[in-house]
Amino acid sequence: MLQRLTDPATPWERVTIPHWYRQGARTLEIASGTAVWYHKSEPVVPLRWVLIRDPHGKFAPQALACTDLAIEPLQILCWFVQRWQVEVTFQQVRTHLGVETQRQWNPQAILRTTPALMGLFSLVTVLAHRSRLDQSAPIRQAAWYVKEHATFADALAWVRRQWWRFRLETSSPAPDIPKQQALFWDRCLELLCYAA
């Protein structure tokens, strides 16, 4: 691929991809062709390759490959951009729910735990989305990073807060908690929601 990238005879085509992450439409240059992937003791696999380069030089050239030779290069490029959402989902599930950190030795336990945690991720996301978390609750900010929308950490903390607050209200023997004490417990609850 490096040879194709540096070869002046490589035919580059300018294309506009409609959704380049969150930046809107973006014009890129692509070159495409077919090749075979060969590995010792494995059958030969035909591939469609796509080289991407930015005419403005804002990111390094990349190579993509697809095993379906009938797919258009622009479609492969669009799929490549869409994969970011999937990667972020797996990273969030790993970070906040512990996927792939389980300590089970039984393969059946692993096969059950990962789908259950992915289901929990979906449930938290749906609950936060249905409650319009971006409008109904303040999103935790940092001095160095301003967020416009809630992240999964915010959604998980919001769901925990709602659940724990409900449990505390229904199990509290003394409903007449002084205002200052209630404020203290509310702050503690917020810290626990993000720390847990």
Angle between helices 152-171 and 179-195 (to 10 degrees): 140
The model scores a pTM over 0.85? no
Chunked into runs of 10 residues, the chain (196 residues) has average pLDDT values of 79 86 84 88 90 88 91 90 83 81 76 85 84 67 75 83 72 59 75 73
- The span from the CA of 122 to the CA of 102, in Å, is 19
pLDDT (0 to 100) of residue 183: 76
One-letter amino acid of 142: A
Three-state secondary-structure class, residue 73: helix
DSSP state of 160: H
Residue extents of the structural domains in the chain:
2-83, 98-196
* Residue 32 near residue 47, CB atoms below 8 Å: no
pLDDT (0 to 100) of residue 161: 81
* Maximum separation of any 2 CA atoms in the chain, in Å: 80
Bridge partners, 63 (sequence order): 51
pLDDT (0 to 100) of residue 86: 82
Q: CB burial class (10 A; 0-12, 13-18, 19+) of residue 34?
A: exposed
pLDDT (0 to 100) of residue 32: 92
Question: Alpha carbon of 93 to those of 121, 132, 178: distances in Å?
Answer: 7, 21, 38
Tokens of 33: 């062709």
- The span from the CA of 121 to the CA of 115, in Å, is 10
